[in-house]
Amino acid sequence: MLWLIVLLVAVAIVYLAARYSRFRNRAELVLSIAVALGLVVAFVIWLSDRGNQQAPAPEPTRPAGLTTADIALESMTFERNQSERSYRVRGTVRNSSAFALEYFRLTVTLEDCPDGACERIGDDTALILVRVPGGQSRPFETFLTFPFRDGEPPTAPKWTYVVSQVRGAAAR
């Protein structure tokens, strides 16, 4: 409705400017004032609409779900793969919660510890997609890569691993 009024006023100003030479001299001033008033009105409407917006409804809280403490890794083995820097990791994941595990992130740190003096080589994180119902365990396998020089593999590797993230769902 407001746009219709603005359109009619604009058409009237153009008509009067074309028809009467005295009005033509004042048309620029009238159009400038009309545009300024239109901007002020638009700004006031924008401010009032912005103040009337309601805060978004909070999302329903999800029940406390699966945590990294609910996941235990067992029978972990690390075998050198075909590539010198790559290792095959096998193990079993046990889920002690009531929620089903969908995936977890395994972060592994490799150190070389000849004669008890450990030197950190690096770490890698793998996303392990394994579905484990609550109270059960499943085997898994993945590959990790570490940044050591070619021809200088660790002589006494020491592995440290931790579950760094889990994702679960309510049991069905």
Q: Indicate whether 59 belongs to any domain.
A: no
The verdict on 74 and 44 lying in the same domain is no
Mean pLDDT of 58-85: 77
pTM over 0.75: no
In 3D space, the residue among 118, 125, 161 whose CA is nearest the CA of residue 146 turns out to be 125
**pLDDT at residue 87 tops 80:** yes
The verdict on 81 and 34 lying in the same domain is no
For residue 151, the model assigns a pLDDT of 67
Higher pLDDT, 55 or 49: 49
Which of left, alpha, beta for 135 (phi over 0: left; psi -120 to 50: alpha)? Answer: left
For residue 55, the model assigns a pLDDT of 60
Q: For strand 86-95 and strand 71-80, is the pairing parallel, antiparallel, or unpaired?
A: antiparallel
Task: Indicate the helix (H) or strand (E) that contains 39.
Answer: helix 21-52
Q: Indicate whether 150 belongs to any domain.
A: yes
Q: Starting at the edge strand that comes first in sequence, how are the strands of the sheet with 157-169 ordered?
A: 119-132, 100-112, 157-169
The verdict on 19 and 44 lying in the same domain is yes
The verdict on 88 and 19 lying in the same domain is no
Write the pLDDT tens digit of every residue in 95-129.
999 899 999 999 999 998 888 888 888 889 999 99
What CATH number corresponds to the domain at position 103? Answer: 2.60.40.1620
The boundaries of the domain holding residue 37 are 2-52
Tokens 């793998």 belong to 126
The verdict on 80 and 161 lying in the same domain is yes
The verdict on 114 and 31 lying in the same domain is no
**pLDDT at residue 64 tops 60:** no
Domain count within the chain: 2
What is the C-alpha separation between 158 and 41, in angstroms, rounded? 71
Mean pLDDT of the chain: 82
